[in-house]
Amino acid sequence: MTDSPDEYGELLRRALSAEANSVVPSPDGLEIIRARIERRGFRWLTWWRTGASVAGALLVAATIVMVVPQFREQVIPQVSTGTVNFTESTPPPDGSATSRPPAPPQPSSGPAQLPAVGRSEAGSPTLPPTPTPSRSTTPSTRPTSRATPAPSTHRPTPTPTCPTPLDDPPVDPSGISKQCEEAEATPTPTKTRPSAPSESPCSADECGPSDDASPPMPTEASIPAPTPVSS
Amino acid sequence: MPLNEPEERKPSGKAERPTDVTTETLVADRSLGAAPVGWDADMAVTALYSAHYRSLVRLAVLLVRDMATAEEVVQDAFVAIHGAWRRLRDTDKALAYLRQSVVNRSRSVLRHRAVVEKYAPKGMPDAPSAENGAIGEFERSAVIEALRGLPARQREALVLRYYGDLSEAQIAHAMGISKGAVKSHTARGMAALRTSLEQLS
């Protein structure tokens, strides 16, 4: 009985060997394997590319998210500070309107010109806003404008009223005073005249030495005068 | 049959066993030796291919009964060992890795084929080749047919034992089962094969 399994085993062995020997693998098996390996590598490369692109997109998005808020935070304070400076630097612009509230109490008193001037001398930073309204509405503000332009002689405040006097005063202050007198005679500056004469506490000599001081009082009168002279 | 068989016991009748190249390559890892240790994956795959590709394809043919599928299974096994070469701790066991991979993939192929055949219309049975008819090896074809009728595990155990000439331990490792299960599958497979061959004769 024990021999029968061996007999069948041997029969099975011979049959399997004969069947296996009839099998001849294709000769290009190695090339196929290498091609599959390369494809597998490309597949990994594709996954790597996909992952890298996704990671890059996430990085860019994160960068934007991180940068934009900072940018906003930086821009907002800059704008606020910029507006303040702008009002200070340029008295004529309307930005001074924001600073008017402090000014009204000053003009309330007509003869308050002197205190206004004193304030301007004392606190230069608060004064800048006042000069702008001074020119158009009240004379009291103009003296303040004098104080503010003092640091910057070429400030525009005098220019609108009388640009020429700025350069001329050093040349001939007396002539400026004359021109101012002539300007009073001329009709064109009449609109601004009323304010000018009221402010005129400073004499022509005073206006002469300070180029900036000239704008308030003499400027209005001098504006028309120099132009005809030069012409 | 002796009761206490050693673990590495080979099938009886060694002296009468025909010495086939396929059997030698499947049994021994001497063909590679320690050379693959310092090799990279490409070199190892090339060496393994030249040494074991044919035998592995024949093993796969006996398992899956299809030449094209057998080659594909073996090629997949080579691609897998190429990818896992760096993780392979003992490169001397590359052949064992390939053999186990071939057996597992053949099992997957048969499982998939069983599902397909279950729902696919029945085709014409395979006709014996002209060579088989000419040779007249009725015995051989009968054994192969009987082998194909066995369950997959029993067929694997018989093929690995009588064609691959592997020990029970190696068969157990290749099939992923215990040695006792190997013995059981082998004994049951041989009994079923004997019954079918007795019916034919």
pLDDT (tens digit per residue) in B98-146 = 999 999 999 899 888 888 877 876 655 555 555 545 544 677 888 888 8
A57 touches chain B (CB under 8 A): no
| Closest-CA residue of chain A to B81 | A37
Looking at the partner chain, which of A11, A26, A37 has a beta carbon nearest the beta carbon of B143? A11
Q: Does B136 touch chain A (CB under 8 A)?
A: no
Interface contact A151, partner B, CB < 8 A: no
Q: Give the pLDDT mean for A104-113.
A: 46
| Crossing angle (nearest 10°) for helices B67-83 and B41-64 | 150
A128-154 average pLDDT score? 44
User: Which residue has better confidence, A214 or B122?
Assistant: B122
Chain B contacts of A26, Cβ < 8 Å? 71
Any residues with CB less than 8 A from the CB of A91 and at least 6 apart, and which? A128, A129, A130, A131, A132, A145, A148, A149, A155, A156, A157
- B194 and A19: CB-CB below 8 Å? no
Q: Give the model's pLDDT for residue A25.
A: 87
User: Which chain A positions have a beta carbon within 8 Å of B70's beta carbon?
Assistant: 23
Helix ranges restricted to H, B120-149: 130-135, 138-148
What is the Rg, in whole angstroms, of the alpha carbon atoms belonging to chain A?
A: 46
Q: What tens digit of pLDDT does each residue of B162-186 get? A: 998 899 999 999 999 999 999 999 9
Instruction: Give this complex's ipTM.
Output: 0.71
Q: Does A45 touch chain B (CB under 8 A)?
A: no
User: Which positions in chain A touch B71 (Cβ < 8 Å)?
Assistant: 25-26, 29
Q: Amino acid letter at A138?
A: T
Position B88 confidence tier, pLDDT thresholds 50, 70, 90: confident
What is the pLDDT at residue A169? 46
pLDDT at A49: 86
pLDDT in tens, B23-41: 444 544 444 544 455 678 8
Higher pLDDT, A189 or A29: A29
Is residue A34 within 8 Å of B77, Cβ to Cβ? no
pLDDT at B56: 93
